[in-house]
Structure 1
Amino acid sequence: MKQLLTFSLFICMFSGAMSQQNCYWFKHNGDMKRYEACLATEKAAGHYQFTKEFQQAFDNAIKIDPTWGYPYRAKSVSYLKSGDFINWKKLMDKAVEYDTLSYLPYRAGCRFQFFRDYKGAIEDLLLLKKVTNNEMGYTPNGQYHLDIVLALCYKATGRSEEAIEVILERFKDDSYDIGIFDYIHLGVLYLEKGNYNNAIELFKKQEKFNDLAENRFYKALAYKALRQKENCLQNLKAAKELYQNNLKIHDPYQEPMDKIYLSTIERELGEK
C-alpha cells in the first residue's frame, strides 16, 4: 500500500509541475517580463495542443521572455504526441537550457519511454545525477525511479552488469520504496545472465509484493532452465490466469520493457 501511495503521489506532483503557471507569482516577485509572458500563455486555454491558437500563445510567450523554459516544454507536447522526435527535442533542449532541474528529468524519461533513445537518456540521466547529487526523482508518470530507467537503458544498450549494479545500489537506500515492476526487471536481468536461482528469489519477492503475469512467466523460464518441470508448468498456468485477469505490466502509451503477451505464455504451454 505504501508503494502505491507513493506512486500516486508522484503522479500528482508531476501533474502539478506541468500545469498552468501562477502568473501573479512572477508579478509579486517583480519579474514583469515573465509575468507578461505568463499572461500570453493563458490564451492557450481551451485550445487543443495541435491548433494554431495554442501554438501561437506559447510562441508569443517565448517572444516576450525567450529565457523561460515553460513555454518550450508546453509547445513540445504536441510533437511528443505525434512522434516527432526532432522538433520535440529542439524545444525540450531549450527548456532544459533555461531550467535544467525542472525539465531534464522529463526529457530523460521521455527519451527512454517514448522514443527509445537509450543512449540519449543515459547522457541526460548521468548529467542529472551530477546536478542533483544522485537524487534524480521519478519518471513523468511516477512509474519508475530514474535510477531504474538508467538501468533499463544500460540493459537496452548491452550493459547488463551495469544495469544490475545500478538497481542494487538503489535498493540499498533504506528510504527507497520498491517500484511496482522493479523486482521483475532485476529478475529478468539475472535470468538472461543464467543466474537462475537469484532470478527466482527476485520473482518470489515480486509475487509477494505485486504478482503479475510477467513475473510468473519469467519464473517459469528459470525453472525450465533448471529442469524443474512441475514448477515450470505451475507458474506458466499462473501466468496465464493472471494475464487473463489483466494483472500484467501495462502502459497505455507504449510497450514496456519485459512485457509479455498471452500468445507467448500459450506457446510455452504448448497450446494452440
Structure 2
Amino acid sequence: MRIIIVCLLICFTSNVFTQNCDAYKRQGEIKKYEACKKQKEAYKFYQFTKEYQELLDEAIQIDSTYDNAYWAKSIAYLKSGDFLSWKPLIDKAVELNPQMHLGYRGWCRYQFFRDYKGAISDIEEYERIIKDDIGYCQNGDYHLLIAKAICYKAIGEKDKAIKIIEDYLKDNDEESDLYNYYHLGVLYFERGDYNKALSNLEKQKESNNLADNRYYMAMCYKKMNNTNKYKETILEAKKLFEEGYLLNDPYTHHYDKVYLSQIEEEINKSKRFNP
C-alpha cells in the first residue's frame, strides 16, 4: 500500500500542472491557464538552473496570484538549503491557496527546520480546512497525523503523541506505513512501559525490520533484566545497520534515529553483563 502511495505522490508532483492547465481554461481563468503553461516549460529544466527560475518568474508575471509558481520556485531553495529564500515563496503559495500548500509547509517546517510548534500549527489548520483525511507528507514516509504526533513528542507532550498515533492506528492498522509502530514503541519505552514498547516494536519488526527498532528492543530487554535477549538483540541491531536496514532520509535525519555509535557503545556495555 505504501509503495502505491509513494508512486501516486511522484506522479502527482510530475503531472499536476499537465492536469490543471486545461482546467483553468475551462473555468475561464485564462491568465492562470497561460501561467500554468509557462510553468510547464520550466519543468524541461533542472530545478537549480537559471532557466527554470526565469520561466517561473514569467509565470508569476502573467498572473501574480498563480500559487503553484511560487511553490515550484521555493522547492529549489529548500533543497539547496537556502531557507531564507524558500520561506517568503512558500508563505505566498500558502496565502494564495492554503488548501493546496499548508500541509506541505507544515511537513517542511518539521522535516527541515524542526519547527515543531510551527508544524503543528500548519497541520492542525490544514485539518480544519480539509475536514477529511489530510494525507501523507511529501516523501510518503509519514501520514501527516503521525508527523504531528512526533512534533507533540518533541515539545514534551508525549501522552498526546501516543494518543494521536494510537487513534490513527485504530483506523489504519493494516496500512502501518514505514515507521508508525517504531515511534509508538519508542514513546512507550521513554514512558517506562517496556511491555507496551516491546509489543509495538515487535509489530514494527514484522512490517519493516530496522536496526533502530532492534536497538530499542534491546534497550527494553536491558531494562527488564533479560540479559540474554539484550545481548542477542543489540548484536542484531548492528548487523541490520551494516546491511542498510535503518531509518533513512536523503535530506535530513529522522526523529528517533539511532546511530551506529550508539549501537556499538551499547554492545561494549553488554559485554559487562553476565547471563
Instruction: Give the structure-1-normalised TM-score.
Output: 0.92
1:192 corresponding residue in structure 2: 190
1:249 to 239, 247, 250: 247
2:45 corresponding residue in structure 1: 47
2:80 corresponding residue in structure 1: 82
2:8 corresponding residue in structure 1: 13
Q: Deviations over 1:184-230 (max 9, x none)?
A: 10010111111111101111111222221111110111111111111
For residues 102-181 of structure 1, the aligned pairs below 5 Å read 102-174=100-172, 177-181=175-179
Separation of aligned partners in 1, 2:173 and 2:255:
25
Separation of aligned partners in 2, 1:47 and 1:25:
24
Separation of aligned partners in 1, 2:58 and 2:65:
13
1:61 to 59, 63, 83: 59
2:229 corresponding residue in structure 1: 231
Instruction: Give the structure-2-normalised TM-score.
Output: 0.91
Report the residue type matching 1:257 in the other structure.
Y
Contact 1:170/1:176, CA 8 A, preserved across alignment: no
CA-atom RMSD in angstroms: 1.9
Report the Cα offset of residue 262 of structure 1.
2.1
Report the residue type matching 1:188 in the other structure.
V
What is the SS of the residue equivalent to 2:61? helix
Q: 1:50 to 1:92 in 2, by over 3 A?
A: same
Contact 1:155/1:163, CA 8 A, preserved across alignment: yes
What is the SS of the residue equivalent to 1:19? helix
Contact 2:34/2:62, CA 8 A, preserved across alignment: yes
Report the Cα offset of residue 27 of structure 1.
2.5
Q: 1:220 to 1:188 in 2, by over 3 A?
A: same
**Where has structure 1 moved over 4 Å in runs of 4 or more?**
none
Report the Cα offset of residue 130 of structure 1.
0.9
Separation of aligned partners in 2, 1:24 and 1:137:
25
What is the SS of the residue equivalent to 1:168? helix
1:99 corresponding residue in structure 2: 97
What is the SS of the residue equivalent to 1:270? helix
Report the Cα offset of residue 176 of structure 1.
6.1
Q: Deviations over 1:49-90 (max 9, x none)?
A: 233322121112112111121100000011101212232121
Q: Which runs of 5+ in 2 are unaligned?
A: none
- Count of aligned positions: 267
